[in-house]
Structures are given as structure tokens and as C-alpha cells.
């Protein structure tokens, strides 16, 4: 049976019971609109702890003034059913935003060095909102383990750095990105894609595939040549590129030269109509 908490006091009471029982606890933070990618995170969490908990909260502080907060897909009842089917024991679904952001609250958390590029440049303040809400959840739930998807690669690295810098005793697990049978990375925003847009959106996947193939074969040498190749694939699919880069997986700084023992991660974001999609893959 899935236990649903609406207030911070209810979360604290649950955490005390877990501690009294001597059990380990894993947390999967979500904004709902659950898909197979989220379900894979629950399975990973259950494999790593005695009890799996989740959060369900569309966090307003990570949305910009022109972004899709009001129309972000929501299906609380359906999400609860999926959680229960996957063996989630507890979910924190705040009754309103004031539970996490009470009147007069003004504290924000920022991992500056990792937040200024890529999605951080396109969505100013986004990662400050992400880091703040995740730290609030960590402080309330006090999990031993927290699981995040590698699809949001920059977010994952920011959370890892925050946990390290603030000496939080939490193991951060990155779970593999999950794709549709077509290769499209699973995302709650895929629900916005209609008709031909789903085919056009595959440009992100094919961009990554083309860049990786060229790197392995040696047909394109140097990061800039690979990026130009990927940019062409994005344009061929009628997408509007936001960014495309090859970065160091830990620092998220651009890698100019590829090869040798240095690994690189390709990160891409593009607009399919009004829908902004992201994807990533290791270069090799």
C-alpha cells in the first residue's frame, strides 16, 4: 500500500519510523507525468535500499516566466497507481507549493560552476531551483540513497557536486537513460509531440548516433568537426538547435580534442516546434 504524505510533518514522521525499524531508504524525486524512465528509477531504488520513497512535486522555482509550468503534464492519480505497482512505499506529494516554499522563505542553493552553461545558459535560474528543491527534499526525507536519471545529465552532475560540497551523507545513483523503441529519449514533455513532430524529434537521437559513429570511424576529427556534423543532422530534421557540445562528464567544460583516454559526453537540446527536448550520450 502506497502511503501518501502531504505535509512536511508527515514526512518527518515517516522518516522516524524508518529509522526506528533500522531500514535503509532510497528516494526518487519526480515531477510526475511518470513514464517508463521513471519506473526504471524506482526499480533501481528498490534494489539499493530496504524502502523506496518518491516525491511528486512540479517545482515552480525551476521554471522561467515564459516556460510551461501551468501546462506541465499532471496525472497524480495515475502516477500514484504506477508507484504502487512498482513497489514504492511512500510518496511525498505536497498539498501546495507553500509546503516547500512557506511565506517569507528566501533561501536558494546554487552550484555555480556547473550551472552557467548548456541548459543553465538557456534557462537562467533553472538549476538554482532544482538544487534548492532537491536539498529541501533531502533534508526532509533524509535518504541513504537517491536515484536520478542520466537523461538529465547536467542536473545529475550538479546534484552530485552539491552533495559532495555540502558533505551530505547520501549516495547519488545515476540510472541509465531509457528510450522509446524508436530511439527517442523518454521525457514527460514527449506528450506534447503530435503527428510528424515525433519523427522530427528523432533528430536528436540521430544527431548523437552520427557523431558517435564519426568519432569511432575517424571520419571526423576534433570536437568542432563532430559538432558541425551533428548540427547538420538537427537542421535536416527541421529542429531549432539550442546547444550542442562535447564536454567533460564531471566538469561539463568543452573538450576541444577527442581521443586517447579522455572521455567525452555529447549534450544536445533543440526545439521541435514549441517543445524543448534534451538528450545526451557518451562520445564512445
Q: How far apart are CA 32 and CA 80, in angstroms?
A: 9
Query: How many Å apart are CA 1 and CA 51, to the nearest integer?
Result: 12
Q: Which of 169, 118, 176 is nearest to 144 (CA)?
A: 169
What angle (nearest 5°) sits at the alpha carbon of residue 51, between those of residues 111 and 21? 110
Q: Which of 38, 126, 144, 237 is catalytic?
A: 38
Beta bridge partners, 282, equal 265
Task: Specify whether 38 is catalytic.
Answer: yes
User: Active-site residues: which are they?
Assistant: 38
Amino acid at each position: 500500500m502506497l502511503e501518501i504524505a502531504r505535509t512536511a510533518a508527515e514526512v518527518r514522521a515517516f522518516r522516524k519510523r524508518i529509522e526506528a525499524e533500522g531500514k535503509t531508504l532510497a528516494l526518487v524525486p519526480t515531477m510526475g507525468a511518470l513514464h517508463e524512465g521513471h519506473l526504471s528509477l524506482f526499480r533501481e531504488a528498490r534494489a539499493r535500499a530496504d524502502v523506496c520513497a518518491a516525491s511528486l512535486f512540479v517545482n515552480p522555482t525551476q521554471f522561467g516566466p515564459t516556460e510551461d509550468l501551468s501546462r506541465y503534464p499532471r496525472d497524480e492519480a495515475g502516477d500514484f497507481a504506477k508507484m504502487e505497482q512498482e513497489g514504492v512505499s511512500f510518496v511525498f506529494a505536497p498539498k501546495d507549493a507553500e509546503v516547500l516554499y512557506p511565506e517569507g522563505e528566501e533561501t536558494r542553493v546554487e552550484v555555480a560552476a556547473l550551472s552557467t552553461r548548456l541548459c543553465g545558459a538557456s534557462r537562467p535560474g533553472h538549476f538554482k531551483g532544482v538544487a534548492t528543491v532537491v536539498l529541501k527534499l533531502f533534508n526532509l526525507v533524509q535518504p541513504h540513497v537517491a536515484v536520478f536519471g542520466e537523461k538529465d545529465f547536467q542536473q545529475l552532475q550538479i546534484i552530485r557536486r552539491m552533495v559532495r560540497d555540502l558533505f551530505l551523507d547520501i549516495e547519488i545513483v545515476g540510472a541509465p537513460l531509457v528510450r522509446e523503441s524508436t530511439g527517442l529519449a523518454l521525457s514527460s514533455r514527449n506528450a506534447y509531440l503530435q503527428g510528424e513532430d515525433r519523427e522530427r524529434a528523432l533528430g536528436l537521437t540521430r544527431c548523437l548516433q552520427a557523431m558517435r559513429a564519426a568519432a569511432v570511424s575517424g571520419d571526423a576529427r576534433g570536437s568542432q568537426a563532430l559538432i558541425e556534423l551533428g548540427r547538420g543532422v538537427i537542421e535536416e530534421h527541421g529542429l531549432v538547435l539550442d546547444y550542442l557540445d562535447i564536454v567533460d562528464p564531471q566538469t561539463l567544460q568543452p573538450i576541444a580534442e577527442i581521443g586517447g583516454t579522455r572521455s567525452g559526453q555529447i549534450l544536445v537540446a533543440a526545439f521541435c516546434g514549441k517543445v524543448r527536448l534534451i538528450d545526451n550520450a557518451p562520445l564512445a
